[in-house]
Amino acid sequence: MLSARSRQDRQLMIEHKINLTPIGTVRNYVNDPKRKDWQAVASQIVINKELETALDGVEGFSHLIIIYWMHKLSPAEQRPAKVHPKGDRSLPLTGVFATRSPARPNPIGMTVVKLVERRGSILEVTGLDALNGTPVLDIKPYIPSHDSIPEASVPEWLHAS
C-alpha cells in the first residue's frame, strides 16, 4: 500500500508530463549505433532557421555540450533498471543511472563535441555520438571551469574496461 506521500509524488510525476520541441537535427552518415570510434565522426547539427540568432557567439567556444533525444530506441530498450556497462557482460550489473548506457527511462543523450565551424544555422562538429536524423534538444557551451571536475572519482570497474 502506498503512503500518502508516495501517492502525492506519483501524482506529481503524472501531472508533470514534459513536451519538448527539437531545436534541430543531426546530419551524418551513421545509422548503426554500435560504434567505437565516435570521436572520428563528423556531423552537422542543423538548427531550425528561426533559432539561428540563438547561435550568435557560439563560435567563441571550442567545444559544445549537445543534448539530444535518442529517437531510435524502442520502448523495450528504455525499461531496464540495471545494465552491464558498455554492454560488457564481464562488468557487473549496474543501475542504469550509474552508467552512460543509452537504455534509460528517458532516452536523453548528452555529448561534448568539438566545434569545427558555424555556417549560419549549421554547426559542423566532431565527436557527436548520435545517429543521422537525431532530434537535438539543446546546446550549451562547454566551460572548463564549470564543466570539468579534476578531483571527480569513478568506480573501479570503469578503469578495468
d(CA 119, CA 52): 10
In this predicted model, what pLDDT tens digit does every residue of 60-79 receive, in sequence order? 999 999 999 998 876 666 67
132 and 85 in a common domain: no
Task: Reply yes or no on whether the pLDDT at 1 is more than 60.
Answer: no
What's the pLDDT tens digit per position in 14-23? 667 788 999 9
**Quick one: 89 and 30 in the same domain?**
no
Instruction: Report if residue 6 sits inside a domain.
Output: no
Q: Which amino acid is it at 5?
A: R
Question: With bands split at pLDDT 50, 70 and 90, how would you rate the model's confidence at 160?
Answer: low
Lowest mean pLDDT among 76-80, 95-99, 103-107, 127-131: 76-80
C-alpha cell recorded at residue 19 = 513536451
- Domain span holding position 96: 81-106
**Vertex 95 angle, CA 90 and 97, to 5°:** 125
Q: In percent, how much of the chain has pLDDT > 90?
A: 50
Spatial distance between the Cα atoms of 9 and 12, rounded to a whole number of angstroms? 5
Is residue 67 located within the same domain as residue 29? yes
**4 in a domain, yes or no?**
no
The pLDDT score that the predictor gives to residue 15 is: 67
* Gap between the Cα atoms of 121 and 127, Å rounded: 19
- State whether 63 and 134 are in the same domain: yes
On whether both 58 and 113 belong to a single domain, the answer is yes
Domain count along the chain:
2
Q: What is the pLDDT of residue 13?
A: 64
Q: What pLDDT is stored for residue 73 in this prediction?
A: 74
Q: What are phi and psi of 47, to 5 degrees?
A: -85, 145
Tell whether the model's pLDDT for residue 161 goes beyond 70: no
pLDDT of residue 117: 97
On whether both 115 and 91 belong to a single domain, the answer is no
Spell out the residues 6+ positions from residue 155 whose beta carbon is closer than 8 angstroms to its own. Answer: 94, 98
Shared-domain flag, residues 122 and 87:
no
Kindly report the backbone phi and psi dihedral angles of residue 64, in degrees, each rounded to the nearest multiple of 5, phi listed first.
-130, 155
Q: What DSSP element (H or E) covers 137? A: strand 135-141
pLDDT tens across 7-66, in order? 776 666 666 778 899 999 999 998 876 666 778 889 999 999 999 999 999 999 999 999
CATH assignment at residue 62:
2.40.30.70
Does residue 95 share a domain with residue 137?
A: no
Asked whether residue 112 carries a pLDDT value surpassing 90, the answer given is yes
